[in-house]
Amino acid sequence: MNRNAPIGVFDSGVGGLTVAREIMRQIPNESIIYFGDTARVPYGSKSKETIITYSRQIVEFLLTKQVKAVVVGCNTASAFALETLQKEFDIPMIGVVKPGAKVAAETTVNHRVGIIGTLGTVNSDIYKNYIHELNGGIEVFSKACPLFAPLVEEGWLDDPITYEVATRYLNDLMKHEIDTLVLGCTHYPLIRKTVQKVMGDSVNLVNPAYETAISLRTALEEANLTNSGTEVKHKFYVSDGAEKFKSFANTILPCEVEETKDINIELY
Ligand code: DGL
């Protein structure tokens, strides 16, 4: 395995850019190959079988770019497909759920944690299960917020409609007096301000991306796969709408995205 090879990161769309951004900040000497499945977004309402099929195709595509590790920058795919991918592919594969659950368990003081995510992630109970493995005394309250990812894909980040939708979704969670809320979908850090406004300043919002980047760094170190000093170059691919994606990525990443390419993911 070539230690100077790039890291593959994927998501259903722009959400995984919040994970790529954190990897760029925490491990700046690694190159990223990003894939956003914009033709098939959203993932959150699809079946486990479909998400496994999509994720497998994406990993096959990333392997054609010689990636040395893959970060599943999507909670839904981490919940449904990570275990299968780890069995099928022989490179380090990191998801976002375990790191997020760890931070939540370490952050809560009153032992009342909220999880927001897609229908798939919330119904899988994966956050609850991981948090309970770490501390069985923590009460976990979950709420699926299926309209959030489309609102983010539309770019309505700081918008009265998004605020209205958030108020409706989060009302239930507020009644449970949680002190920690996991942004359990990689799209949600992009509407963090809106979520914080609704929840109030006393609730800590957990973005699993930071801890995911740290887990990736550890996995690369353990496998002797850290970049030994070649030039860093990030590349971006989507399954539809490359220009729109590129403009969006340029508003949130710390690097300039000069080009995004459209590929036909169904061929992999
Ligand atoms: N960003 C994804 C996640 O973390 C999925 C959003 C979607 O496509 O529904 O779950």
**Best mutation site among 50, 82, 185, 207 for ligand 1 pocket (most ligand atoms within 8 Å of CB):** 185
pLDDT by position in tens, the chain (length 268):
899 999 999 999 999 999 999 999 999 999 999 999 999 999 999 999 999 999 999 999 999 999 999 999 999 999 999 999 999 999 999 999 999 999 999 999 999 999 999 999 999 999 999 999 999 999 999 999 999 999 998 999 999 999 999 999 999 899 999 999 999 999 999 999 999 999 999 999 999 999 999 999 999 999 999 998 889 999 999 999 999 999 999 999 999 999 999 999 999 9
* Closest C-alpha to 3, from 22, 36, 29: 29
Residues paired with 71 in a beta bridge: 9, 94
By the 10 Å C-beta count (0-12 exposed, 13-18 middle, 19+ buried), 166 is classed as buried
By the 10 Å C-beta count (0-12 exposed, 13-18 middle, 19+ buried), 170 is classed as buried
**Best mutation site among 9, 10, 12, 40 for ligand 1 pocket (most ligand atoms within 8 Å of CB):** 12
Give the pTM: 0.96
How many angstroms separate the alpha carbon of residue 161 from the centre of ligand 1? 20
- Counts for the chain of helices (H) and strands (E), in that order: 12, 10
Q: Which of 19, 105, 131, 185 is catalytic?
A: 185
Active site residue 185: yes
Q: Is the CB of 186 under 6 A from ligand 1?
A: yes
3-state SS class at 144: strand
